[in-house]
A and B are shown apart, each in its own frame.
Chain A
Amino acid sequence: MVVSLISIILLAPLAAFVIFALLGLAKRSFPRQDLLSTLAMLVALGCSLYLIKEIVPKPDPHTVEWISLGNITLSMGFYLDSVTVIMLIVVTLVSSLVHIFSIGYMHGDPRYPRFFAYLSLFSFSMLFLVVSDNLLGIYIGWELVGLCSYLLIGFWFEKDSAANACKKAFLTTRVGDVGMFIGMMMLFTKFNTLSLYDGAQEGIFTQAAAQLTTGDMVWLSIAGILIFCGAIGKSAQMPLHTWLPDAMEGPTPVSALIHAATMVAAGVYLTARMFPILTATSSLVIAYVGGITAIVAATIAIVRFDIKRVLAYSTISQLGYMMLAIGAGSYVAGLFHLTTHAFFKALLFLGSGSVIHAFHAMHAHHDEDHTDEAAHEHDNHGLVHEHGSEIPPDQDMRNMGGLRKKMPITFITMLIATLSISGVPFIFSGFWSKDKILGGVLGRAMEWNSGHHYILFVIALCAAGITAFYMFRLIFMTFFGEPRNQEMHNMAHESPWTMTVPLIVLAALSFPAVNHLWFNKNNFKPPDQPHIQAPQHAYVSPDTKIAFSLFGLSEAEAAEEEGGKDTEQADKAHHAHEVAHNIAMVLSIIVAGLGILLSWLFYHRRRFSAESVATTFRPAYNLFWNKYYFDEFYDGVLVALTVWKSRLFAKFDLSIIDGIVNGVATITRKIFAAFIGFFDNRIVDGIVNRVAEVTWAAGGRIRRIQTGAIQTYLFVVLGGIVLIILIFRAL
């Protein structure tokens, strides 16, 4: 049952893509590719929801041998636990909604069917990644989602910016992927398997836990960090984060699905999946990478004016949050935040898409003659030029303002998402997940022996406050105040129902209460695996408890799940965590409130001027505005160096290596000529000259071949072979 359901989940979207590809080869296309792809996604969603029933406490992987080399086999299979099902539902749900949204948003695009085919391929790849029980399968899905991301970022490839962005995204993530690949090689060499769970042979987790006794942890730490490198690339963590803001060149539904809700979260998913083999060292690395990413991206987001870029940096920052949680040991909190974030961030992106769409009608009106060539291509006039970066006018928040009356549904849904991401207490899901992370980090910092890891908590808290600030800045600039661009404002309109319905559904999912509907009790259980960091369960418990309550489980049931661990020590740790969570909750409410208040004062009441603050703190502002100069460094140093090196290699190849070859040829020819001259050419002429002609001087002779006497040559060749044979026979 499980296998067939998962097969349907995978094959439905794949079939939608294959139909498109096969028909495309015959220069045809399915008349309603959009409906086909959407239907495939809805089928997958239905099956995913049904799978909730199938979760068992300790699932068996369903595997087949994929690569068999005699004594070595690599198997491929599915693994279905509560985490898998959560991910399946998140992916299929957001994907379905994005499909529906795109029917409205992408309407009229010349490559409309292709867009849906790509979405289907992406959904397949992402789902494959999620259900895989082994690193190889995850890696395959991992790279395939990268391909789809590439294709979709570059969907409007006539734009040079899009063409650059898709290449950058693929290459940057590939750098991380290579790290992951090396990590896989290490694990395979050590454990002789890539399966995570026990099957025909012991999986990586079991074997790694056995390492605990031998004490060789350095090796495992390196492998864990290398696997995490893949996540750094995919989840746009520092320092490989620069591709994600550029990826906003893709159509906005793509940003919502791939670059907010699912693909970028795959890195978090992977890291959480790999949690059982993370050592203390690798956890610490992960925590710091995540923490730094969270704060740096948040500071960059404050100064953006492009509505999609604000959301992109916000996504990076939130992903950093999740990584931080996993690094701090609260991987359940990380996954929890992944889920809530998927819904509210997809909503924010789709909402921004709705705004862009509203402005876009005006834009298309302006460039009517261009629309058939590429409906969304942005013309040069009206582009805002600042510091060399160009913001399309329909994405520039400085052209917006006062839209709340024009687009009430978009406004209200986006406001809900903003309240959720800002961590407004109690009724919004984002508060709970973010609070769990903060509590987990603080609790962990208290546990860590040296005090300086409190910095992680401080970072997380600051990032939370900044998030509230810039998100409300976005809301105030877009929906409040007076319209800044009256012409554009007049054209704006609420989006059609295909676009607003997904917004409403996602907004509903930002309330924990709604999640109870799809998430039934008894289903959410932390992965039951041996862990490297043995005392982890103590940290998990408060997290799970909250998560459980979110998903409709009672405290008692949660405690039951945690049963058997009530040793005195665990109790103590438990208590410490309770305290940590209470402190974190109070502080997080305070910083969120501060962030919102400041934002209100700056961008709504205009008590303070952002410009004057920017002038006062010029260096900091420049740093944020220029995104910490990462792009400059990469383009100016790394890319330039690579290209320079390649030119050097090519030049070396052409002049040195080939030069030697040609030089040897010339010298040989000269020696040969001298040789001929030395001997009496009357004697050797006949033989040597013939040889020389055939070999060294054939160039001049070949013209004769061209005149059509090739047949003779052919016969000469054959004759030569026959001759050789005859000679041999005679000997």
Chain B
Amino acid sequence: MLLSLIIFVPLLGMIVVLLLPRDSEELIKRVTLAFTLIPLALAVYLFIAYDRSDAGTQHAVSVPWIETFHINYHVGIDGLSVTLMLLTALLGPICVLASWRNIEKGIKAYMALFLLLETGMLGFFAALDLFLFFVFFELTLLPMYFLIGVWGGPRREYAAIKFFLYTLFGSVLMLVALIAVYLNSSIIPEERTFDIPTLISLAGETEHALADPTFQIWVFLGFFIGFAVKVPIFPFHTWLPDAHVEAPTAISVILAGVLLKMGTYGLVRINMAMFPEGMAFFTEVTEETGLWGYSLALLGFVNIVYGSFCALAQTDFKKLVAYSSIGHMGFVILGLAARNTMGVNGAILQMFNHGVISAMLFLLVGVLYDRAHHREINGFGGLGNRMPIYMGITTLAFMASLGLPGLSGFWGEALSLFGAFQEFEILAILSTIGIVVGAAYFLWTLQRVFLGKLNPKYEELPEINKREILTLVPLGILTIVLGVWPNFALDMFRESVAELTKLMGTFQAGL
């Protein structure tokens, strides 16, 4: 019940917002803020009340929805989902605040779409029915399309369509795989199911059609491509820089903070748990799999190095951050490819931390853009004296992102790498190149924007204001708290990950 409340409160908010008069913009913003704060409060409660020692599903609700296809409205949370729901709920009000002044037209529709988006995201992380999961996955797509396509920058139409089609392309493959899973869940039509926990246990039964290695590999691929577009994994990533550059600040925050995590969350929830054989094929080097066994780790490595090098070459501040996201998501993939306790825990921690840090980065880019109306890194210079607080917060976010120990970004990367090293020594070692290049582009940016002589054009640039600080402070606190005490997050999903590795362990002896 509580879970459904969190998911649908934003939807209720959307209806309320739609009923409000178009002119009362201030009211619309406040109502939206209120309807994002409620899920946040509930998510915090959920987070605190979550039983950390229990690896199973909590707060589960299951009611029949479309009985013909045995589709249930089945939601529930484990440690992984509650962590990501908290992240989503936290970014909600922050994004509303970040949109307070810089959305000039159509604020009502903007806020309504935003609330719809939030329902989609929250529902996605809670869904335990494969079809429901898919519906929520798609539900995020449409509002995102409009939010970029209408309120975006000059090339918004191109970016929005690119985003839409790319994701749709992935979704189609996912849909095919999804139907295949459904049809194979039982020979008897009446016993077929979309229920994720049931499917996971069915896939664990020997001789079951779902457990067939070849079947698993193909279905794995179907889901994988769907999620890979979302993560995004090279070479399906080119929609991301465009979407980020064109999207308004708050939407970039959601995109990097939550939407990318939907891809990796899907990989964990579906690909790893449901298709351990398929997963093993792409992550375990045996005589049978041969070089395929390297493929997922290799993709993680490519993401890290490729994303980092591309970021180094960017001169558009936002594009740089977008490419850095690609690089950092590579650590998630690398950690997941390791499949061991450290790697998976690290990957999930990295998901959360990247959500927080990249949200900060995009908010910070937005702050500068709102003032200077451009994002050309070389066009600034010497802002450090003009905006010391802004520089301080930016330095914090950069340092967190480049993996400075003591800030949260480090732990996700470190644990992922530690985990990966145990399985793929060489790839893990090569991936550390990303750590150096990551430091290079962030420090270079810091220098070009803040250090040196003040660009005379910006002598009057105003310092970051209270509202903007308010959006950044909670994220900054999380960065430091998780940097000092990562167990705060690890406590949440440690047991769930243990369960997951056991699940995979039953399929691979000797893991």
Please list the residues of chain A having a beta carbon within 8 angstroms of any beta carbon in chain B: 21, 24-25, 27, 65-72, 139-140, 142-144, 147, 150-151, 154, 157-158, 160, 162-164, 166-167, 170-171, 174-175, 178, 181-182, 185-186, 188-189, 642-643, 645-647, 649-651, 653, 657-658, 660-661, 665, 695, 698-699, 702, 705-706, 708, 710-711, 713-714, 717, 721, 724-725, 728-729, 731
Contact = CB atoms under 8 A, between A and B. Distances in A.
Given A69-B345, A706-B150, A717-B142, A171 B432 contact: no
B106 A714 contact: no
Contacts of B69: 728, 731
Query: Which residue of B68, B309, B311 has the most chain A CB atoms within 10 A of its CB atom?
Result: B309
Nearest to B391: A157
Nearest to B108: A711
B406 A140 contact: yes
B317 interface: no
B309 A645 contact: yes
Interface string B482-502: 000011001000110110000
A592 B404 CA distance: 43
A143 B435 contact: no
A705 B452 contact: no
A95 B414 CA distance: 31
Given A147-B399, A174-B439, A695 B310 contact: no
Contacts of B44: none
Contact of A185 (B384, B428, B433): B428
A714 B116 CA distance: 9
B193 interface: no
A650 B384 contact: no
A185 B415 contact: no
Contacts of A186: 421
A467 B306 CA distance: 46
A143 B406 contact: yes
A24 B341 contact: no
B313 interface: yes
A728 B436 contact: no
B206 to A, nearest CB: 27
Interface in B271-320: 306, 309-314
A170 B487 contact: no
A650 B313 contact: yes
Contact of A171 (B71, B139, B388, B440): B440
B406 A702 contact: no
A389 B69 CA distance: 77
B157 interface: yes
B149 A174 contact: no
Interface string B469-488: 10001000000000000110
State the 7 A-B residue pairs at the shortest beta-carbon distance, nearest first: A650-B313, A163-B451, A646-B312, A710-B109, A140-B405, A646-B313, A157-B451
Given A67-B487, A160-B452, A24 B392 contact: yes
B61 interface: no
A232 to B, nearest CB: 14
A729 B388 CA distance: 59
A643 B308 CA distance: 11
B366 interface: no
5 contacts: A70-B494, A144-B404, A167-B443, A182-B432, A660-B235
Contacts of B429: 182, 185
Nearest to B399: A147
Contacts of A698: 157, 161
B469 A25 contact: yes
A725 B451 contact: no
Given A25-B469, A724-B135, 9 more contacts: A70-B494, A154-B451, A182-B421, A186-B421, A646-B309, A657-B237, A705-B149, A713-B146, A714-B112
Contacts of B382: 158
A189 B68 CA distance: 51
Contacts of A725: 66
A705 B109 CA distance: 11
B436 A69 contact: no
A661 B439 CA distance: 30
Contacts of A714: 18, 109, 112-113, 116
A240 to B, nearest CB: 12
B506 to A, nearest CB: 17
Nearest to B485: A66
Contacts of A162: 451
Contacts of A643: 312-313
A157 B418 CA distance: 36
A547 B142 CA distance: 74
A166 B447 CA distance: 9
Contacts of B385: 158
A170 B445 CA distance: 14
B444 A167 contact: yes
Contacts of B443: 150, 167, 170-171
B238 interface: yes
A70 B498 contact: yes
A170 B442 CA distance: 11
A71 B162 contact: no
A653 to B, nearest CB: 5
B238 A658 contact: yes
Query: Which residue of A21, A144, A649 has the most chain B CB atoms within 10 A of its CB atom?
Result: A649
A649 B309 contact: yes
A728 B66 contact: yes
Contacts of B439: 170-171, 174
A533 B314 CA distance: 50
B452 A185 contact: no
A721 B453 CA distance: 56
Contacts of A731: 68-69
A728 B435 CA distance: 49
Given A661-B162, A661-B238, A72 B342 contact: yes
A12 to B, nearest CB: 17
B411 interface: yes
A548 B398 CA distance: 47
B146 A710 contact: yes
B158 interface: yes
Given A67-B415, A653-B238, A181 B139 contact: no
A73 B487 CA distance: 11
A125 to B, nearest CB: 8
Interface string B66-103: 10110100000000000000000000000000000000
Nearest to A650: B313
A717 B237 CA distance: 26
A654 to B, nearest CB: 8
B446 to A, nearest CB: 8
Contacts of A27: 389, 463
A729 B158 contact: no
A185 to B, nearest CB: 4
Contacts of B311: 646
Contact of A642 (B18, B239, B437): B437
Interface string B132-160: 00010001001100100110000001101
Given A174-B435, A182-B432, A708-B106, A157 B312 contact: no
A642 B59 CA distance: 51
A164 B473 CA distance: 29
A147 B135 CA distance: 46
B214 interface: no
Contacts of A150: 443
A74 B404 CA distance: 18
B487 to A, nearest CB: 6
B106 A171 contact: no
Contacts of B109: 710-711, 714
Given A170-B439, A649-B309, A143 B405 contact: yes
Contacts of A705: 146, 149-150
A339 to B, nearest CB: 27
Contacts of A706: 150
Contact of B310 (A25, A174, A650, A661): A650
A529 to B, nearest CB: 25
A592 B58 CA distance: 75
A162 B453 CA distance: 11
